[in-house]
Amino acid sequence: MIVLNEVSKRYQGRDKSWFSAIEPLSLSIAEGEIFGLMGYSGAGKSTLLRLINLLERPDSGTVHVGDQELTQLNATDLRNARQHIGMVFQQFNLLANRTVAANIAFPLEVAGWRQADIDRRVTECLDIVGLTDRARHYPAQLSGGQKQRVGIARALASSPKVILADEPTSALDPATTRSVLECLLDINQRFNVTIVIVTHEMSVIRRLCDRAALLHQGRLLEVIDIKNNQIHAHSAIGQELVQED
């Protein structure tokens, strides 16, 4: 489903020196899988996530999502391909002057959907995330968990094949985190959406993921099988991460 082949990313600092955010690495994620990207701060998790939909373009390597090689698409084709890749953000990124329903509708408006189809899909997405009664509310009237559910509904609006979630629970309390994870798991199971989630919390990985990649300073240390309870890391950093809760 998702294949990263020898992708890398470097940035230039203020002192004009270069540093590697992602060392060349390869990774495959299966269709319908919930896959975690885990590591300490600065490990390169969010950068790697953004390489998947080319919000960050890799300096080398290729990115395949489904049957498309995103790294060779022109700007128009890449925009079309991204309609099948939803994104959920840490800080929700909701439009404050739009209602819940209008926030969910926004990407469909940009994509040129007909209003009747937008209204139908927004209603469906509100039902999926359990926010039908909040359709006319504004983000300021919502709890953190409700805001994140709106973010999930917006990501789901265009019926994507993939959802990328960047630290979606880091601003939430434990009980709200559980409800958001249950929402993502339900979407995965009902619609076979492939989910890639960035987190620094091993408890999130254990509760949600089938497999997880452990990253450290831009390097892929190893991939751990969570679904089959083979949560055993071989690297020293990996062992530290796995033992945390």
CA dist 195 and 208 (Å) reads 10
Please enumerate in sequence order all residues whose Cβ is within 8 A of that of 133, keeping only pairs 6 or more positions apart, or say none. Answer: none
Stated pTM of the model:
0.92
46 vs 140: CA distance, rounded Å: 27
In order of start, what are the domains of the chain with their CATH numbers?
2-84+161-243 (3.40.50.300), 93-159 (no CATH)
pLDDT digits 0-9 by tens, 132-180: 999 999 999 999 999 999 999 999 999 999 999 999 988 788 889 999 9
Given a cut of 80, is residue 230 above it in pLDDT? no
* Strand positions, DSSP E, the chain: 2-12, 18-29, 34-38, 60-65, 68-69, 85-88, 162-166, 194-199, 211-216, 219-225
**The predicted structure's pLDDT at residue 167:** 92
Q: Give pLDDT, residue 131.
A: 95
Model confidence pLDDT, tens digit, residues 5-52: 999 999 987 887 888 999 999 999 999 999 999 998 889 999 999 999
pLDDT score recorded for residue 244: 63
- Residue 5 CB coordination number (10 Å): 17
Asked whether the predicted pLDDT for residue 232 surpasses 70, the reply is no
Name residue 59's amino acid: D
For 81-89, what is the mean pLDDT? 92
Categorize the per-residue pLDDT at 233 as very low, low, confident or very high, splitting at 50, 70 and 90.
low
pLDDT category at 245 given cuts 50, 70, 90 is low
| pLDDT one-digit tens code per residue, 169-220 | 887 888 899 999 999 999 999 999 999 999 988 889 989 999 999 999 999 9
Contacts of 76 by beta carbon, 8 Å cutoff, 6+ apart:
none
Instruction: Return the ∠ at Cα 91 (arms to 52 and 88), rounded to 5°.
Output: 35
Within 13-45, strands assigned E span 18-29, 34-38
